[in-house]
Structure 1
Amino acid sequence: MPLALLALAIGAFGIGTTEFVIMGLLPEVGADFGVSIPTAGFLVTGYALGVVLGAPLMTVLGTRVSRKRMLMLLMGLFIVGNVLSAVAPVFGVMLAGRVVASLAHGAFFGIGSVVAAGLVAPEKKAGAIAMMFTGLTVANVIGVPLGTYIGQSIGWRATFFIVAGLGVVGLLGVAKLIPEQAGPEDVRLRHELAAFRNVQVLLAMAMTVLGFGGVFAAITYIKPMMTDVAGYSDGAVTWLLVLFGLGMVAGNLIGGKFADRALMPLLYVSLSALALTLALFTLTAHHQVAAAVTVFLIGGLGFATVPPLQKRVLDQASGAPTLASAVNIGAFNLGNALAAWLGGLVIGAGFGYTAPNWVGAVLAGSALLLAVLSSTLERRATASATDDAVGSRIVAGSPAQPAATVSGAKRRVQSPGKSAVR
């Protein structure tokens, strides 16, 4: 794999750390600013909304900028947002810093996916995309627990200064290692927007929302599920999330490897297995060992869908993939928000802390149905195109057999006697 992918992975590591580390620091941040934990939770919500809105916005603003330069600008924005969060004198300023940092998230992964795919041969694109996303998955194993520990031991501001430092390393890596990649000269915003008229692009994005949403329906409420149902201590939840992160790393690497060989079959297997695992989590959540294994599997199966779905969007939006790729990253966060909301509804309705697992199973199952629909439509389109091509050749007098052979055949049919004499 090209060394340039390391620069993308470092940037992804920093982005993944800043996205999730705040969840473990909400009590400290809330106490420092004198706000309640629910109010401090707006730092999570604001970031997610910033990703959804920032992905298309930043990509559109960067349509006339080279991809390498845009990645550098996005890392600069990420650094500014985290420094602003670290020095914030009041809660509102920190919230603004979180939103600024989030604006870089979707566009970085969207443009980074296009750049990563362009660094390797066509048959290795999904693997290259997975390599970049490895930074995000490893952040959940190393960056988030370490950042949480530092924030609780030294102070949460130190965590955000360190994350900003990671952004500086990522910026230098992009500047030094990533080559200039000139996009198609005739691609402008209207070409990028045209990708959204492709039903396959829209179906892939819907699969992203529903499939990864299934994961977050369960993981959003992992703490009360594991403490109140499985019987784990509060401290054990951190290590369960590390286990979830390890599953993400494994799933991402497996997804990247097999998506280049059999993309749609991989989606069938991973989405169906994810739906089944989430449904079973309603039972395994009552047993500590089984619950831990299930948490790992949810992380693995969920992230096994990421490289193939991102590659699916790139393939279907070929020629103008940048905006579609970035919007698909926003779709992951939209799925997270939707699933967390639905999971909260079923808990609030009195169905218990394991009820979000059923929500997740339904979401993942719905994504599987969309995958089948997408593949069916694609096969029909291919068959129709083949029939049209054959029909065109026949009309033009160029069927599968050479014209001379066809003419000879007609003469033999018209004069069987002469053929017999000869």
Structure 2
Amino acid sequence: MAKQNNLLIAILTFGVFGILNTEMGVIGILPSLAEFYGVSVSQAGLLVGLFALAIAIAGPTMPLLFSGIDRKKVLLLVLGIFVLGNIVTIFTTNYTVVLIIRFISGLFHPVYVSLAFTIAAASVKKEEAPKAVANVFIGVSAGMVVGVPIVSFIANTASIQMALAFFAVVNALVFMATLIFVPSMPVQEKLSYGAQLSVLKKSITWLSIVGVIFLNASVFGVYSYFAEYLNSVTNMSLNTITIMLFLFGLTNIIGNIIAGKVLTQNAIKTVVTLPFALGVVYIIFFLFGEFTIPMAIVTLFWGVLAGIGANINQYWVMSSAPEAPTFANGLFLTSANIGVTVGSAVGGLFISQLGTQYVLLVGFLSIKLSLVFILLRNYKDSSIQNKLSEHQVS
């Protein structure tokens, strides 16, 4: 049974890598894609932006729509859509067609990812769920960060078509593994749409959502412009910056592994501690941003914290609505993507008005706001627990 669960989680992790790599892998080859499709680099940026917009739209709706269907069939459906979409992008030079395919893929992205988290958590004992989800999160981090240099390498050494083919091959392999090794997973207790939507009536759910938006904004508001920060403030070379971003990705994966352990041991303490730890990192960035070695060392710690933070975001929303896990995971994906959008927008505003060094302000402000909503939810949780205790005594 343990071996079956390990294989299932490994397939889900690899699947999430394929889905996230399809989304983010194009970042490193945008100039080449612009030339391939005959558009400007800014227009090619829509390949990322439109995909993210589709995720934000579909996050709370698409997982809900598919929540009552056999989970294996849903996984295969989404992977099939990604494989077909990947194949079409290899052989077409029509940019409009590619944008449509990317948007459709983005709509199904939250279905697979939210279901992967739900299945991983359900495959183990309740107290081991954060660790199982953290393993799947390795696929998220690898797809977002490690996949980018891999795709860039393939494009530079082979061709842009081979780089695009990499997306198709990864998703096709996961499709075959799912078809062969993943058992049928019919939904035992089908929750009505109304029952799942009812979690939105709880104030704890909304406190969690807003807390996650600001927590993710505190990381991605800075990370979105980190390459520019290292270039203009730290004066690193482009090659060194590439290495730094790659190391950030690797330490992000380490953070995922750590998160599974610390969330299992003491979830509340971990959630409350993270904003303070991020605050210390940003203070060091601000004070020593001009020095290469201190920045390199602190970036490694930042990568670990970012990995832990990604797991915290999922846990925080999921734990606010455990009665509707798939819908809750969809809410998490939407919250996280809104956080990225808000953080990058505000970060860009600070840079344009104050200068690159002050992008750290979006990190500080978002941390403070996230902590407010984290503490409010903790207070709400405590009040509910006290009322339940009083009711049991009476």
CA distance in 2, matches of 1:197, 1:229: 46
CA distance in 2, matches of 1:78, 1:56: 20
Kindly indicate whether the alpha-carbon contact (under 8 Å) linking 2:220 and 2:343 is maintained by their aligned counterparts in 1: yes
- Out of 348, 355, 359, the position equivalent to 2:362 is 359
- Out of 376, 387, 391, the position equivalent to 2:390 is 387
- Out of 187, 191, 208, the position equivalent to 1:187 is 191
Letter in 2 for 1:367: S
Post-superposition offset of 1:141: 5.4
Q: Which residue of 1 aligns with 2:85?
A: 81
TM-score by length of 2: 0.94
1:2 aligns with 2:17: no
1:248 aligns with 2:282: no
CA distance in 1, matches of 2:308, 2:214: 14
Structure 1 residues 77, 278: closer, same or farther in 2, change over 3 A? Answer: farther
CA distance in 2, matches of 1:244, 1:385: 44
What is the percent sequence identity of the aligned residues? 25
Q: Using CA pairs below 8 Å that are at least 6 residues apart, which structure has the higher relative contact order?
A: 2
Q: Which residue of 2 aligns with 1:150?
A: 154
Kindly indicate whether the alpha-carbon contact (under 8 Å) linking 2:313 and 2:336 is maintained by their aligned counterparts in 1: no
1:376 aligns with 2:358: no
Unaligned runs of 5+ in 2: none
Kindly indicate whether the alpha-carbon contact (under 8 Å) linking 2:216 and 2:313 is maintained by their aligned counterparts in 1: no
Deviations 1:87-109 (A, max 9, x none): 23222222222222222322211
Kindly indicate whether the alpha-carbon contact (under 8 Å) linking 2:318 and 2:332 is maintained by their aligned counterparts in 1: no
- Out of 305, 313, 326, the position equivalent to 1:301 is 305
Matches within 5 A, 1:23-422: 23-140=27-144, 142-349=146-353, 351-391=354-394
Letter in 2 for 1:180: S
Kindly indicate whether the alpha-carbon contact (under 8 Å) linking 2:212 and 2:316 is maintained by their aligned counterparts in 1: no
CA distance in 2, matches of 1:126, 1:177: 23
Kindly indicate whether the alpha-carbon contact (under 8 Å) linking 1:272 and 1:365 is maintained by their aligned counterparts in 2: no
CA distance in 2, matches of 1:216, 1:87: 34
Higher Rg:
1
Kindly indicate whether the alpha-carbon contact (under 8 Å) linking 1:128 and 1:256 is maintained by their aligned counterparts in 2: yes
CA distance in 2, matches of 1:174, 1:328: 24
Letter in 1 for 2:357: T
Post-superposition offset of 1:63: 2.8
Q: Which residue of 2 aligns with 1:418?
A: none
Q: Provide the secondary structure at the position in 1 that maps to 2:51.
A: helix
Kindly indicate whether the alpha-carbon contact (under 8 Å) linking 1:79 and 1:101 is maintained by their aligned counterparts in 2: no
Kindly indicate whether the alpha-carbon contact (under 8 Å) linking 1:126 and 1:308 is maintained by their aligned counterparts in 2: no
CA distance in 1, matches of 2:313, 2:231: 33
Kindly indicate whether the alpha-carbon contact (under 8 Å) linking 1:205 and 1:328 is maintained by their aligned counterparts in 2: yes
CA distance in 1, matches of 2:302, 2:86: 30
Q: Provide the secondary structure at the position in 2 that maps to 1:305.
A: helix
Structure 1 residues 378, 135: closer, same or farther in 2, change over 3 A? Answer: same
Letter in 1 for 2:343: A
Deviations 1:364-383 (A, max 9, x none): 22212211111111111111
CA distance in 1, matches of 2:96, 2:381: 48
Kindly indicate whether the alpha-carbon contact (under 8 Å) linking 1:82 and 1:98 is maintained by their aligned counterparts in 2: no
Kindly indicate whether the alpha-carbon contact (under 8 Å) linking 1:80 and 1:101 is maintained by their aligned counterparts in 2: no
Structure 1 residues 207, 181: closer, same or farther in 2, change over 3 A? Answer: farther
Q: Provide the secondary structure at the position in 2 that maps to 1:183.
A: coil
Letter in 2 for 1:253: I
Post-superposition offset of 1:83: 2.2
Letter in 1 for 2:368: G
CA distance in 1, matches of 2:88, 2:208: 36
CA distance in 2, matches of 1:86, 1:279: 45
Unaligned runs of 5+ in 1: 392-422
Kindly indicate whether the alpha-carbon contact (under 8 Å) linking 2:317 and 2:331 is maintained by their aligned counterparts in 1: no
Structure 1 residues 302, 364: closer, same or farther in 2, change over 3 A? Answer: farther
Kindly indicate whether the alpha-carbon contact (under 8 Å) linking 1:140 and 1:242 is maintained by their aligned counterparts in 2: no
CA distance in 1, matches of 2:169, 2:73: 19
CA distance in 2, matches of 1:121, 1:299: 29
Letter in 2 for 1:328: F
CA distance in 1, matches of 2:320, 2:223: 30
Kindly indicate whether the alpha-carbon contact (under 8 Å) linking 2:61 and 2:330 is maintained by their aligned counterparts in 1: no
Kindly indicate whether the alpha-carbon contact (under 8 Å) linking 2:231 and 2:238 is maintained by their aligned counterparts in 1: yes
Kindly indicate whether the alpha-carbon contact (under 8 Å) linking 1:141 and 1:243 is maintained by their aligned counterparts in 2: no
Deviations 1:32-84 (A, max 9, x none): 23322222111111111011112233213313312222122111122223223
